[in-house]
């Protein structure tokens, strides 16, 4: 009799473990591709090319320490356009919403760019500010706005739902 009750309880627990939790899954959308171009659409991230930004670094402005490197990956598309892929890593600060189901978070990143002037000389480092705002609900966490030096940039999505941001320098 004990074995029968134990078997029924074990079966009930097994069935409860198989139920679907799809309603509680939050969609997270935070991968961004940053393209840096001139006004004519020329790629300014071409490695070792005169007139391009050959050195790029990012630092988390909202981090508790002064030196908090933000990671990104330099990438190239099939048509040889260079971009910076940012997945996550900078501190997210709550801007509004508190305990509600609609919240806004932000990250602030200092972007340091060094342009190659000639084969042997480089311009002074340019320090720009990148601000990323995120929209959070129980069902989605996504990029909602991107500002570069306090100017809002248009954002779009590619076929894989990554956020595309073009910075014009």
The gap from C-alpha 163 to its chain's centroid, in whole angstroms, comes to 8
Q: What ranges do the domains of the chain cover?
A: 25-168
Closest CA to 127 of 62, 20, 19, 55: 55
pLDDT-wise least confident of 18-27, 47-56, 133-142 = 18-27
The pTM assigned to this predicted structure is: 0.81
Tens digits of residue pLDDT in 72-127 = 999 999 999 999 999 988 999 999 988 899 999 999 999 999 999 999 999 999 99
Closest CA to 63 of 110, 2, 127: 110
- Give the pLDDT band (50/70/90) at residue 12: very low
Report the C-alpha gap between 51 and 85 in whole angstroms. Answer: 21
- Please answer whether residues 136 and 103 qualify as being in contact, where contact means their C-beta atoms are separated by less than 8 angstroms: yes
By the 10 Å C-beta count (0-12 exposed, 13-18 middle, 19+ buried), 89 is classed as: middle
């Amino acid at each position: 009799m004990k074995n029968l009750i134990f078997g029924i309880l074990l079966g009930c627990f097994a069935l409860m473990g198989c139920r679907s939790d799809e309603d509680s899954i939050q969609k997270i959308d935070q991968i961004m591709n940053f393209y840096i171009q001139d006004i004519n659409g020329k790629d300014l991230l071409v490695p070792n090319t005169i007139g391009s930004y050959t050195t790029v670094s990012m630092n988390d402005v909202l981090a508790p320490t002064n030196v908090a490197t933000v990671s990104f990956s330099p990438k190239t598309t099939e048509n040889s356009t260079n971009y910076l892929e940012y997945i996550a890593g900078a501190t997210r600060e709550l801007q509004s919403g508190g305990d509600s189901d609609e919240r806004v978070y932000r990250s602030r990143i200092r972007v340091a760019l060094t342009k190659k002037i000639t084969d042997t000389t480089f311009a002074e480092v340019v320090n720009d500010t990148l601000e990323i705002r995120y929209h959070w609900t129980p069902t989605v966490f996504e990029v909602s706005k991107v500002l570069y030096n306090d100017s809002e940039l248009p954002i779009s999505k590619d076929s894989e739902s990554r956020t595309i941001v073009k910075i014009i320098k």
